[in-house]
Amino acid sequence: MRSTLLLLLLAVSFSFGAGTEPPPRRPNILWLVGENIDHDLGCYGAKNVRTPNLDRLAAEGVRYTRVFATNPACAPSRSAFMVGMYQTTTDTHNMRSHRTDDFRLPPGVRPLTHRLKDAGYFTANIKTIGGKPVGTGKLDLNFVNEGPIYDSDDWSALKSKQPFYAQVNSHEVEYDIYDRKSAGKPRVEWVGEREHEQIATENNVTPPPYYPDHPVVRQEWARYLNAVSGMDRRIGWVLDQLRADGLEDNTVIVFFADNGRLEARGIHWCYDSGLRVPMIIRWPKNFPAPPQVRPGTVNDDVISLLDLTATTLAIAGVPRPPGMQSRIFLGAQADPPRQYAFSARDRIDETVKRIRSVRDARYRYIRNLIPGPTFASLNRYKEKCFLIVPLMRELQAQGKLKGPPLALMAANAPEEELYDLQNDPHEINNLAGSAKTEHREALLRLRAALDTWIVETGDRGGIPEPPEVYAPFEKEMHEWFGTPAWFNR
């Protein structure tokens, strides 16, 4: 009996390592949240970027190729995936809304972190590790009256507070758009790279064909890619510390972005460039992986970023609450794969638009519900910070735009847009008027799917905001960025 007990104790010591604690009963969960990026990582085939840390994460986990945000801007998108409900259902769909009123989330809708805390998870929103700036601590939610969202911002507390849910919001991939004194250079203090170490340059990048071939366009594209490389470097600091602290083998790591690419036709618009996001999930060694997770694999299912909420709860062993619109895509209780991912764009700052979109594995359908321009509409932030916008206005005035760039500047956007992503990855050939049978079938099918979604989810976008709500944004944005001269002519 004594020898049997001794062998058992030795086995336990060997399994967990002498002098170490056994792994927690439930896995830790770490969200690494990139900001404003599309599939611009080496593991997705992107050129002129250096992303070794995320590439390694993908090689050890699952890389997802069809994940789409529910909104092409940060605050509405975050407001959705932090509660598992469409922003258009919860009245959080307008950018920077409900920051100063008494708005509360609808009954039964709660932040993800509150549900995890109730289940025994310690929650944290990390800013620094060992003095290095790895995160911003960003919330940017369109609800502010729900109480504290996290328990802490202290990385050093995680080891003694397992199981934990931690979030690291990476610095914005904004490549100095607010500071044009360093044109063509990334934020050196974040990226940690000297100028001569930059990967992307004006001469080696190929911007998409919906922009004119111009040095400013190529410079902006290079700056964006170099900022992505800088983001990867900071994520590497987090992953290194996770390993050094002995937490790696107990922690599910989820990397994703909050919305699509920081480019003039990306962020704010319902194309793939504004809605498609990377996602990588790596499972820890000390917990059995769900059947959908095999190292080094690629998943092509259509997934809404909204689905990360219920899936994270499932990883933590927390049941999905009744009525939550988020789906589970991992584990034995996973829902059937989606056929469609739905997205919506409403007011962004002072710019009032209402756009709805649906994407399946091949086609994207867009419905523009307010007449007038889309890309060419006035948004002072984009006019000031995205040099491509005033450049295209100038070239248009000079009669030097043609093809897709000229179409992008149209004074009136089409009511409907349909794109075949298999044959037209840049979404420049609108097939909504095509007579081909396959295109007509796709149009009717996606149109009907969107109509159904609008009704079933109680889309509140059709309820206009009172002018006194959005009018102050015109003054605020003018004070921040100024109003372009052409608008006052």
Say how far apart CA 400 and CA 95 lie, in whole Å.
34
Which residue is associated with the tokens 């499972």?
283
Residues 289 and 282: their CA atoms lie apart, in Å, by 9
Read off the pLDDT band of 151 (50, 70, 90). Answer: very high
Tell me, yes or no, whether 17 lies in a domain: no
**Integer CA distances (angstroms), 97 to 76, 83, 87, 251, 308, in order:** 9, 16, 11, 34, 23
For the segment 285-292, the average pLDDT, to the nearest whole number, is 97
Question: Distance between CA 272 and CA 303 in Å, rounded?
Answer: 13
Sign of torsion over alpha carbons 100, 104, 106, 108: positive
Q: Residue 119: give the domain boundaries.
A: 26-483
Given a cut of 70, is residue 421 above it in pLDDT? yes
* pLDDT value at 489 more than 70: no
Asked whether residue 3 is assigned to any structural domain, the reply reads no
Q: What percent of the chain has pLDDT over 70?
A: 90
> Which pLDDT score, from 0 to 100, does residue 191 have?
41
Is 12 among the domain residues? no
pLDDT at 187: 40
Phi/psi of residue 30, each to 5°?
A: -120, 115
Residue 465: is its pLDDT beyond 70?
A: yes
For 94-105, write each residue's pLDDT tens digit: 999 999 999 999
Q: What is the reported pLDDT for 171?
A: 81
What tokens were used for 403? 């093809």
264 within some domain? yes
Q: What is the pLDDT of residue 178?
A: 58
Mean pLDDT score, 352-372: 97
What pLDDT score does 442 carry?
98
C-beta separation of 300 from 66 below 8 A: yes
As a whole number, the mean pLDDT across the chain is 91
CATH number of the domain encompassing residue 150:
3.40.720.10
Is the residue at 256 inside a domain? yes
- When pLDDT is averaged across residues 376-384 and rounded to a whole number, the result is 95
Q: How far apart are CA 8 and CA 55, in angstroms?
A: 40
Nearest CA to 414 among 370, 353, 358, 351?
370
Average pLDDT of 305-331? 98
- Evaluate if residue 291 carries a pLDDT over 70: yes
Distance in angstroms (rounded) separating the CA atoms of residues 121 and 209: 47
| Residue 466 domain-assigned (yes or no) | yes
**Among residues 442, 447, 454, 69, which one has the least CA distance to residue 270?**
69
Tell me, what's the pLDDT at 11? 36
pLDDT of residue 201 exceeding 80: yes
Sign of the CA dihedral with 273 first, then 463, 94, and 324 last: negative
Q: At what angle do helices 215-244 and 52-60 cross, to 10 degrees?
A: 60
Is the pLDDT reported for residue 5 higher than 60? no
pTM of the model: 0.92
Give CA torsion, residues 78, 82, 84, 87, to 10 deg. Answer: -40
Residue corresponding to tokens 């039964």 = 108
Q: Which residue has the higher pLDDT, 34 or 5?
A: 34
Tens digit of pLDDT for each residue in 424-460?
Answer: 999 999 999 999 999 999 999 999 999 999 999 999 9
Lowest mean pLDDT among 22-31, 75-84, 409-418: 22-31
According to the model, what pLDDT value does residue 89 have? 98
pLDDT at 23: 54
10 belongs to a structural domain: no
Reported confidence tier of residue 16, pLDDT bands at 50, 70, 90: very low
Residues 274 and 259: beta-carbon distance below 8 Å: yes
Instruction: Write the DSSP assignment of 418-450 as a string of letters.
Output: EEETTT-TT--S--TT---HHHHHHHHHHHHHH
Helix (H, G, I), strand (E, B) or coil at 277: strand
Sorting pLDDT into bands at 50, 70 and 90, what band is 289? very high
Instruction: Please answer whether residues 401 and 212 qualify as being in contact, where contact means their C-beta atoms are separated by less than 8 angstroms.
Output: yes
pLDDT per residue as tens digits for the range 85-144 = 999 999 999 999 999 999 999 999 999 999 999 999 999 999 999 999 999 999 999 999
Question: Residue 68: is its pLDDT beyond 90?
Answer: yes
What's the domain count of the chain? 1
* Phi/psi of residue 187, nearest 5 degrees: -70, 100
10 Å Cβ neighbour count for 486?
A: 12
Predicted pLDDT at 470 = 87
Residue 488 resides in a domain: no
pLDDT for the residue numbered 22: 58
Angle, nearest 10°, between helix axes 215-244 and 388-397?
170
